[in-house]
Structure 1
Amino acid sequence: MATAAVIFIPFMIYDRGYFLFYGDFNVQQVPFYQMCHDAIRSGSWRWSWTTDLGANFVGSYSFYLLGSPFFWLTLPFPSAAVPYLMGPLYILKFGCACMTGCIYLQRYCRSGNLAVLGGMLYAFSGFSVYNVFFNHFHEAIVFFPLFLWAMDEYMYHRRRGVFALCTFLCCFVNYYFFVGQVVFMIIYWLVRFFSNDPAYTKISKKDFGLLWVEAVLGVACSCVLLLPTLCAITQNNRINNPSNGWNALLYDSNQRYLHILSCFFFPPDLPARANFTPDSNSQWASLGAWLPLFSMSGVIAALQAKNKRWYKTLITILFVMALVPVLNSAFQLFNASYYARWYYMLTLMMSLCTITSLQREDVDWGRAIKWTLAITLIIGLSIGLMPTISTNSTTNTKTTTYGLEKYPTRFWAYVAIALVSLLLLVIVFKYYKNHKRLFLRMATGGVAIITVVYSLFYITTGKTQSDDTHNEIIPYALNGGKDISLPSDGKQFCRIDVYDGMDNLPMYWKRPTIQAFHSIVPGSIMEFYPTVGVTRDVGSRPGVEVYAIRSLLSCRWLFDPMNHGQDFIDPNTSGTRMPGWKYYATQNGSKIYENQYFIPMGFSYDKYITRTEYNTLPEANRSLALLKAIVVEDTAVQKAKEGGLTHYDKIDSASFAEEAYFADCKARAETACSSFTTDSKGFSAEATSSKDRLVFFSVPYEKGWSATVNGSAAEIVKVNVGFMAVKIPSGKAEIRFEYRTPGLKPGIAVTAVSFLLLGGYVYATDTTGRWRKKKLPEPPKTSE
């Protein structure tokens, strides 16, 4: 924790108490923590109105933080304190990762100090420092060693219940990483079994069966989060992308192989700024595995040693899996999107190889360090000095440049850190044979020194890529939008737009928005946006060309940050980049524009078209067509007619000019509900109508919604490709929508029953009435 504090505190001082980085960390991790903190404390944990167009709170945030005990530590603090806690929580996470790594590794060490050294290597590996960018990845780094420790406890001592509890913990903390951990655990067990490890081969059928019972009970105990999560993510189109064809055998970029190799010998590249291999298409892939001070020398030493060891077989298998796409994808259910987000498991095995090699007499460390140095130099000099000859087509002259890296200064700094690390290792090894205690102290200190140096360099270079924290994020985002005052505040629900600004800026202000950077949102949002020509993968960022959806989605205000991006005023026309917007005021560092054709939430149509008819329209006209007629699924035509709608004949020949758009907006606004209010359970609206009609709400269609009209249950109709509508009668109608998280109640029941079964299992299988240790041979404190 002291080492981590030396890394983070200087940045916290510089950023006035906050820890800010760049990219995803600034625009996701910080606002997500604060928004979820506020939602739970206020009881608004069912539906999030500030996540995209609205989202299942549990399903959307179980991946990011809901299972993290570090997040729950923020709850006693007030909302304003949460952004200040990001740095201290990181210090705590790194300390905990070292501790849990030590807990696992100490079984294989002669001394606790050696296990601490291994824990340092694991906690401050290139993977951990790289993923400062992704705050929620560190939970997996912290808890995975306990998973392995629990497996060993069962296999060595038949300790009942511990493996089930650690299975629950890892699954509950993050389901995505748990999938990879299960794959690793199966490989780990099989390798040790077929390597004739006594603790793993001397297992009865009964004990083997009980091990599976514990695994199943552990997963079942996590169902309070797991079931709601499964209900949410199965709607996500990103999960259906299996490896196939040649892409399952070979990476499509030859540079990626070098990127994978270099990540073991050099400190990590910035996530969005691949340097060693600029065209490897590995941005954000979490390619980092370098061990400070030792680099690959301990792993090479272990592989070169003559005696056979199970971890040599295991780490060889893991390296092969890293190089074969389909095997690499096994750690994420064979999804073809390239990620190396399982490398923290690899770095733990690399740390194990390093510390076990330090206590073996048959290891030639000098040879291993020479091999590490040679490979480091070959990679560094090959990339850094490789000539490239280019020919000017106009003058027919040839120019020679040297170096394949994208950022030379940063590249040579990485090379220097890697070489200085090895030089310091050589100096430390002078005390290896005759002063073992001093060697361990110097090695641990060396790891801390190199860690601080490369981490400070990494975070500093990352901060140079970020938005201006002192001119934008701190004064205008982290202030919670306290300087924003709009006439609709507290009176009318509306969404806001941000033109070419920082992602998720409205989330900092606790305001609903149409701009969002979030990977896990309702499937209906991902269904809707592509139909109007907007790509929806990890974010909702509709461009100005689909201006009509602003009115469709009840967007009244647009913020144009003055210190970020382009100006909303087009310099060529001196007008706004979207029709119908007018300058309102300058507040909180942004110019604010008002939508003159704003449509309040809950409005109606006179006509309908079917989904098939909608799909036949040119993509550019669809967003405009959504203001002319409501789109119903082909099977729901009768419901449209019962809602007082008539068919819009010849929609393809309708006018889609700006004037027609303005007229459509006015017509829809005239039918809007007289009130629309949100609360912790859903929303309420009031409307008055002279006839039966369908009322449309631009709230994502989800199975958890139920509706009543004037106190009677009402059917929710899926309309406009992913949104909801409900039929109201003539006269005054009181509309109420409530949301219940799908899978939450069954998940709570399964979790409760599973914990009871787990308690009964431990009691029944432990004849002493407590967790007992059944003595089996401990591994020799040398290398097993």
Structure 2
Amino acid sequence: MVKKYPSWVLLAFSFALAILAHGVFLYQWTQGQYMAGINDGLSQMMPFKHLLYEQYTNGEFFYSFDFGLGAGTFSELAYYFSTSIVFLLTIPFVWFLEMTGLIDAPDVLFWANAAVFISALRMSLVLFITARVFIYTKIPYWPSLIGASVYAISGMYFRHTVYWEFFADAFLWLPLLVLGTEKILREQKPGWFLLAVSISFFDNFYFAYINFLLVGIYILFRLFIPLTDAEKDRKKKIITFLTAGVIGFGIGAVSFIPAVYAYLNNHRPPFQQDIPIFEPIDNILYSSRYIILPALFVLFLFTFRFYRNKTFRLFALIGIAGVLMHLSPLVSSIFNGFSAPQYRWEYFISFAAGGAIASGLGMLSKMSQRGFFITAALTGFIYAIYALLDPAFEFDWVETGLVIVSLLATTTAVWAALHFSENMGPKIIGGVLIVWLIVFANFYQSEKILEMGDVWEVNKELITGEDYDDPEINRLLEEIHARENDGMYRIEWMQGVRNNTPIVQDFQGLSAYSSILNQNLLYFYLYDLEIDMQRESVSRYATLGNRANLFSLVRGKYIIRSTDDTNIPYGFTEILASENYLVYENENVLPFARGATEVYQEDKLTMHPPLAREHAMLNGIVLDTEEEGSPIQVTGDITSKFTIEEKMARYEDGVLEVTGETGGIDLVWADPTDGPGDLYVSFKLVNTAADEGFDLSVNDYVTSRKSNDSVYKTYVDDLTLRVPSQEKVRIRLPEGRYFLTELQLFEEDYEALNREAAETSGVQDLKIDGSKVEILYDNDQRDEYLSAVIPYELGWSATVNGVKTDVLKANYAFVGVPIEEGENRIIFSYRPPFFVPSLITSILAIFIGIFWVFRRKSARQ
């Protein structure tokens, strides 16, 4: 008779294993180093936690003007933490600690400190849930915990947690989906599957997609490998799966639908590189970054007698299928939404390996001495093949030695177990495996993450220092805030390439970095205004290319620059200084809301240069409308006044051959205009070298461009760069061959900006409260429309003097409404796209789900 243990015993062992598995990171925490990636960990994960915690504890759940130029955080950050159940459960606990004075107000440093403890608790739950799933499938108690350890204590868990923390939550929901599947197949009980589907849809739309593909594979195998006599009616089971899936979708709709809309409203250039069906081997036995298969799993795969057991056969075949799928970039592309291949689903292989090992441990008595030697020989042969045929394989005394020691120890343990009692054998092997898993997990943390991933640099000194949250900058920010009232203003400052610096340092900035951003803002930067961000990359926007008109239009009032940076936009004057930085103030900031009579048609402006589009926004309002609109005047075109001189290069018919280390062309203006002003230089630039990024400089302005084979390339090659007006424009590139075409130059004298800045604002009162903006506007100029510096996205509604009106997309990426003569009280309100119908759907689905589950229960009774 199999001894049963209470759940708290399993939970206690799970917690102990999780603590041991986090040994390196727990030690690093005592040394002031944190479990967070130096790149996305510090640039996205920690800032988003900080932002959302502040929002949620202040009662704002939907929108923030602190995220870039403004964004619907509930939907756009659903990919990260806004609907993450683990994060949502963390918030009240942290809030309690804050309210009781046990901790200060949480900041980015707090969330970095807390990361290792949240991870250990999450792993404890993964171990507990997975072990309970294996126990439910009739696998003995302790083998189930060992199999769960193979799944939870894996390199991919730590990789996910450190670099993209919310990825690790998927480890929780996959075993719940498997449990739900088994409950339907074995007992015709859909409750657990319904719960798991609902949680998955609510928690994260991206991993819901991945986990549903994975559980679909599991269900497919299960339909052809029945484990009980109650699984004969496949059609009925499929109908139950589909019904539970539809109801579960309905329950999770309140989160899932707004999140999917945000994903569809994002803009990311399509992946243009070839995706092979198979690629050279990823060495999953020795050195893979994603998954290292335990030697015991490989050994059991070649124990052919085990396949007579249906449970082992199920997990073994799924594991083999997973390994074959891992070798296909096409499969990884499918799991990433048919985009660039990303290896994020391989935890499924660990789950299958855990199931195979757990079920195999209970069948050691079926292994004969002769069978053992055959199995060991085949296992050794496979390890030799992986070492010999992998062109990238290099013997490493630590990493390779650890694998070989594991192979020898596992083989020896299995041989020894054959000579012990039936009860002792699995314990010996399981003990060896647990030790290896913990040792390897800590090795992975030390070598693969801390060293190779530079995570050892993530410490308190970094997070509170000049490379992340610079105290010198914070002092300048305090002085800026002290000069201001409660009005809306923005500051251009970004630490290095960390676009979410404004979230970290608690100011309203002009940059953002997220896998999902407002498409209208991305188009505004990339296509409509061709704003250079000084660094080509997807999923980001930053800076305004030193273009004064744009600064004034979006209320960019201050810029912070290093003392040696003299390339300052027009109209900015120095007001503050520190040892290494200067603060400049914009003298021509335009109001948050502006009236307009002149209406320009967006489509017609596409035929004109970006400077003409800037003037249209200054002189009136640009609408995405079919109305005729005001005539468009293009001024300042001085292309014909420049002559071209080659410098260490040959330029002919749009082809630029740079022959020196750097070179290019000079655009020479023989008779430049006196007085202040800027030049806008527009051209199309394509690098013919596929694998080389490069820097482009135009006079003192420098920007970087990605290589053609980079997955982060925008493929936006139409550039418009602003430089101070001068007689010579120097375009410089590194040695190579380029297509440089559509060259144009425009002079900007800022007459339109100065005129608009001198106008009296009609804004009498402005109140911004998260997802609600209230404007009192005196329309004494009889303007027809009002535009406001609120990024346009589906979800905004508006009333003018109490009457509901349509929200228009104005000035390419912002909101506008028709207004009346005289006083106008305009109220903009935001709710996530389709939030109300999604909420109603979720509420109805909960009742339908409860009714359906209890009706089926009554029918069985």
TM-score range, shorter chain: 0.7 to 0.9
Residue 250 in 1 paired to residue 277 in 2? yes
Quick one: which amino acid aligns to residue 491 of structure 2? Answer: I
Cα distance in structure 2, aligned partners of 1:451 and 1:98: 15
CA contact (8 A) 1:569 1:577 kept: no
TM-score by length of 1: 0.80
Within a 5 Å distance, the mapping from 1:54-93 to structure 2 comes to 54-76=70-92, 77=95, 78=98, 79-80=105-106, 83=111, 84-93=113-122
Rg comparison, structure with higher value: 2
Show the counterpart of 1:733: 824
Alpha-carbon distance, 1:54 to partner: 1.2
Change (3 A) 1:681 1:306: closer
Deviates more, 1:65-74 or 1:339-348: 65-74
Task: Name 1:339's counterpart in structure 2.
Answer: 342
The one-letter code of the counterpart of 2:594 is F
Indicate if the aligned counterparts of 2:315 and 2:353 stay in contact, CA closer than 8 A.
no
Q: How does 1:204-219 map to 2 (within 5 A)?
A: 205-219=235-249
Secondary structure class of the residue paired with 2:559:
strand
Deviations 1:676-708 (A, max 9, x none): 331033212333343222332232212221223
- Aligned amino acid, residue 152 of structure 1: E
Question: What does the per-residue CA deviation read over 1:580-605, in whole Å, with 9 as the maximum and x for residues that have no partner?
Answer: 44444357996544334433422345
Query: Aligned residue for 1:157?
Result: 187
Equivalent position SS for 1:105: helix
Distance in 2 of aligned mates of 1:707 and 1:348 = 50
Equivalent residue number for residue 277 of structure 1: none
Report how far residue 196 of structure 1 moved.
Answer: 5.2
Aligned to 1:704: 795
Conserved in 2, the CA contact under 8 Å of 1:546 and 1:623? no
Structure-2 separation of matches of 1:214 and 1:619: 52
CA displacement, residues 12-57 of structure 1 (integer Å, 9 cap, x when unaligned): 22337x5433111111111111211111111222212122221112
Which one-letter code corresponds to 1:126 in the other structure?
G
Q: Deviations over 1:236-266 (max 9, x none)?
A: 234x9599xx946536xxxx533xx22x224
Give 1:478 shift: 6.4
| 5+ long unaligned stretches in structure 1 | 270-287, 386-410, 561-566, 639-645, 773-784
Q: TM-score, normalised by structure 2?
A: 0.73
Q: Within 5 Å, give how 1:380-391 maps onto structure 2.
A: 382-384=392-394
Question: Which residue number in structure 2 is paired with residue 533 of structure 1?
Answer: 530
- Paired letter, 1:319: V
Query: Take 2:615 and 2:457, find their aligned partners in 1: how far apart are those partners?
Result: 34
Q: Cα offset for 1:85?
A: 2.5
Aligned to 1:643: none
1-structure distance, mates of 2:229, 2:317: 17
Match of 2:601 among 602, 605, 610: 610
1:450 pairs with 2:440: yes
> What is the one-letter code of the residue matched to 2:106?
A
CA-to-aligned-CA distance 1:449-475 (integer Å, 9 cap, x gap) = 221122232332256368774444224
Q: What does residue 194 of structure 1 align with?
A: 224
Do residues 130 (structure 1) and 159 (structure 2) align?
yes
Shift of 1:201: 4.4
1:35 and 2:35 aligned: no
Task: Give the match for residue 4 of structure 2.
Answer: none
Confirm or deny: 8 A CA contact 2:595 2:787 kept in the other structure.
Answer: yes
Residues 183 and 381 of structure 1: CA distance in aligned 2, closer, same or farther (over 3 Å): closer
Q: In the alignment, which of 87, 101, 104 is matched to residue 133 of structure 2? A: 104
Asked if residue 230 in structure 1 is aligned to residue 260 in structure 2, the reply is yes
Higher mean alpha-carbon deviation, 491-500 vs 665-674, is at 665-674
Distance 1:471 1:505 in 2: 17
Structure 1's 479 and 766: CA in aligned 2 closer, same or farther, altered over 3 A? farther
Bigger drift between 204-213 and 297-306 goes to: 297-306
Partner of 2:403: 418
Equivalent in the alignment of 2:558: 557
Q: What's the counterpart of residue 506 of structure 2?
A: 510
Asked if structure 1 preserves the Cα contact closer than 8 Å seen for 2:414 and 2:429, the reply is yes
Give the percent of matched residue pairs that are identical in Structure 1 and Structure 2.
Answer: 18
3-state SS, counterpart of residue 510 of structure 2:
coil
> Which piece of structure 1 moves more, 72-81 or 518-527?
72-81
**Once the two structures are superposed, what CA deviation does each residue of 1:150-207 show, in whole Å capped at 9, x if it has no partner?**
1012211222412111111122211111112222222222222234554574126444
Structure 2 match to 1:666: 754
Is 2:549–2:614's contact at 8 Å kept on the other side of the alignment?
Answer: yes
Q: CA 1:382–1:703 in 2, change beyond 3 Å: closer, same or farther?
A: closer
Deviation at 1:417, TM superposition (A): 4.1
SS in 1 for 2:291: coil
Q: Deviations over 1:85-127 (max 9, x none)?
A: 2221111112222222222233456432211111111112222
Among 265, 268, 273, the residue aligned to 2:285: 265
Alignment-derived partner of residue 15 in structure 1: 32
Question: Once the 2 structures are TM-superposed, how far is the Cα of residue 133 of structure 1 from its aligned partner?
Answer: 0.6
Q: Which of 843, 848, 861 lines up with 1:757 in the alignment?
A: 848
Residue 780 of structure 2: aligned partner = 690
Instruction: Tell me the residue number matched to 2:585.
Output: 594
Does the CA-based 8 Å contact 1:100-1:143 persist in structure 2?
A: no
The alpha carbon displacement at 1:7 in A equals 3.1
Counterparts of residues 489-508 of structure 1 (less than 5 Å):
489-499=484-494, 500-508=496-504
Q: Judging changes above 3 Å, is the alpha-carbon distance between structure 1 residues 345 and 681 closer, same or farther for their aligned structure 2 residues?
A: same
Give the Cα separation in 1 of the matches to 2:191 and 2:241. Answer: 9
Q: Is the 8 A contact 1:228 1:742 kept in 2?
A: yes
| Greater relative CO, 1 or 2 (CA 8 Å, sep 6+) | 1
Q: Distance in 1 between matches of 2:53 and 2:221?
A: 43
Q: In structure 2, what residue type is equivalent to 1:449?
A: V
Aligned-partner SS, 2:600:
strand
Number of residue pairs matched by the alignment: 697
Distance of aligned partners of 1:43 and 1:650 in 2 relative to their CA distance in 1, 3 Å threshold? same
Distance in 2 separating the partners of 1:744 and 1:371: 57
Give the partner amino acid of 1:15: G
| Structure 1 position 538, deviation (Å) | 1.2
Structure 2 gaps of 5+ residues are: 1-17, 99-104, 639-676, 680-723, 725-746
Determine the C-alpha separation between the residues in 2 that align with 1:295 and 1:597.
Answer: 70
- Whole-Å separation in 2 of the counterparts to 1:371 and 1:320: 18
Alignment equivalent of 2:376, drawn from 366, 374, 382: 366
Question: Is contact 2:573-2:585 (8 Å) kept?
Answer: yes
Does the 8 Å CA contact 1:682/1:738 hold for their aligned counterparts? yes
Counterpart contact for 1:610–1:637, Cα < 8 Å = yes
Q: 1:459 aligns with which of 434, 449, 453?
A: 449
In structure 2, give the amino acid aligned to 1:176.
Answer: Y
Q: Which moved more, 1:143-152 or 1:526-535?
A: 526-535
SS in 2 for 1:237: coil
Shift of 1:516: 0.7
Q: Distance in 1 between matches of 2:586 and 2:321?
A: 59
Shift of 1:424: 4.5
- Asked whether the 8 Å contact 2:126–2:171 carries over to 1, the reply is yes
1:468-498: per-residue Cα shift (whole Å, max 9, x none)? 7444422466699864311454432112222
For 1:676, the aligned partner's letter is L
Residues in 2 aligned to 1:431 and 1:595: alpha-carbon distance in whole angstroms: 78
The CA deviation string for residues 430-452 of structure 1, in whole angstroms up to 9 with x for no partner, is 54322422332232123212211
